[in-house]
Amino acid sequence: MFRLIFLFAILGAGLFVGSQYTGQQGYVLVSVADKTIEMSVTTLVIFIIAALAALFGLEYVIKKIFYASSATWNYFSVRKMRRSRRYTNEGIIKLLEGDFKDAEKKVTRWANHHDMPLLCYLVASEAAQGMGDSNKRDHYLKLALEQKDSRLAVELTRAKQQLREARFDEAFATLSDLKGEYPNNAVVLNLLKTVYVELKLWQPLLELLPKLAKAKLITKEEQQQLELVAQCGLLAEVAEQKGSEGLIQHWNSLPRKVKTDLHLVECFTKQLINRKADDQAFTIIKETLKKHPTADLYKLLPELNLSDSHPAMVFLEETLRKNGNNAEAHSALAQFHLRGQKWSEAQQHFEKALAQRSNVSDYAYLADSLEKQNFNKAAHEVSKKALTLVNNQ
């Protein structure tokens, strides 16, 4: 537009000057080396205007040619990109359907023309893993990592693949690096939870759980359950490393709220029993049962290897005086009598326990106590009940 205005302005100026100096055209002489060109001023002006018009016209034609070439190039580029997107979408569907070979073929065929090659290579890596080809899997991950802003997506894909193949140590290394760069990434935190559980890294798991709960990646119930698992695992770890004394010190250092959990008390006493600290275990069980009678703790009493079983038997007798329908207390006391070869007393308490609920072990113990008293027929009937109970389970 500017060029047209410029030409019309020059042309107008030329016409004005020409009308003013009609009959006085002037004289122009151009001499170059041994050649000379003569013309009037009017001719020179017309020549300049014609030259400018020709120059602008040439520019216009050249631009049109380049535009056509560019449009043609863009057309083919866009066409390739659309085809690449279509193949990638089809490849993702094939991956979900389990057709890994076709999925790999489709997403890699036009990956160079895709506007996001990262997606193509990640899908190809997943397909390669599905086929069990670790070399191709790692090759595609390497290609994906060469793309811009790809680290997080690539490393998360790598970690998920490591977890699926139970390569937990490698997944731990991958995710630990990511946690330093992306400490609040929900996927990183969730995958770390799985790794910590599988590798029995209980202390890191306990530190991670509040973050998971805050990000609403686990429910309150799941958090409590995982805390119990981690605390029990930590008790076993401390017991193995520091023995019963270190275990007791660790227990005493725990918050009071944690120590009141009956499941955790059971874990603690089992570790004490494993470390031959049966007397300390009995004290913990007795004090806990006074406040919170629970079947699982009563079951632990006969497992204790006490130097003197009398205090435990007295405790159970007192419990039964308060509540004669406590089946687990009857069973525990009966096992102490069985250990002391008091067959009749053992029989009575086993029968009372079984009157409250069925239990295969108690049936077997009862049959044994009856045999010791030469009540073979009764023992046979009890054994049949135990066998029937086992078959129905």
pLDDT greater at residue 328 or residue 388? 328
Q: Is the pLDDT of residue 2 over 90?
A: no
Q: Which of 35-44, 166-175, 265-274, 352-361 has the lowest mean pLDDT?
A: 35-44
Looking up tokens 């009017």 gives 42
Q: Tell me, what's the pLDDT at 382?
A: 87
Q: How many domains does the chain have?
A: 1
Q: How does residue 303 score in pLDDT terms, banded at 50, 70 and 90? A: very high
Q: How far apart are CA 74 and CA 145, in angstroms?
A: 28
Q: How far apart are CA 184 and CA 174, in angstroms?
A: 16
Q: Tell me, what's the pLDDT at 50?
A: 75
Q: Tell me, what's the pLDDT at 85?
A: 81
CATH of the domain at 362: 1.25.40.10
Burial class (CB in 10 A: 0-12, 13-18, 19+), 112: exposed
Looking up tokens 């205005």 gives 5
Residue 241 lies in a domain: no
Please tell me whether residue 22 adopts helix, strand or coil conformation: coil
Looking up tokens 């599988």 gives 198
**Full domain range(s) for residue 393:** 308-393
Residue 96 lies in a domain: no
Q: Which of 99-103, 108-112, 167-171 has the lowest mean pLDDT?
A: 108-112
pLDDT greater at residue 5 or residue 232? 232
Residue 369 lies in a domain: yes
**pTM of the predicted protein model:** 0.73
Residue 244 lies in a domain: no
pLDDT greater at residue 88 or residue 371? 371
Dihedral sign (CA 167, 169, 170, 171):
positive
Residue 104 lies in a domain: no
Q: Is the pLDDT of residue 48 over 80?
A: no
Q: Which of 44-48, 114-118, 356-360 has the lowest mean pLDDT?
A: 44-48
102-145 pLDDT per residue, tens: 999 888 887 777 778 898 899 999 999 999 999 999 999 999 99
Amino acid at 138: D
Q: Where are the alpha helices (DSSP H) in the chain?
A: 2-20, 41-97, 100-109, 117-130, 134-145, 151-164, 168-181, 186-199, 202-214, 220-253, 256-259, 262-274, 278-291, 295-300, 310-322, 327-339, 343-356, 360-372, 376-392
Burial class (CB in 10 A: 0-12, 13-18, 19+), 210: exposed
Q: Which of 111-125, 161-175, 273-287 has the lowest mean pLDDT?
A: 111-125
In DSSP notation, 152-207 reads HHHHHHHHHHHHHTT-HHHHHHHHHHHHHH-TT-HHHHHHHHHHHHHHT-HHHHHH
Residue 64 lies in a domain: no
Q: How does residue 14 score in pLDDT terms, banded at 50, 70 and 90? A: low
Residue 323 lies in a domain: yes
Q: How does residue 75 score in pLDDT terms, banded at 50, 70 and 90? A: very low
Q: Which of 42-46, 79-83, 275-279, 343-347 has the lowest mean pLDDT?
A: 42-46
Residue 335 lies in a domain: yes
Q: How does residue 9 score in pLDDT terms, banded at 50, 70 and 90? A: low
Q: Is the pLDDT of residue 24 over 60?
A: no
Q: Is the pLDDT of residue 328 over 90?
A: yes
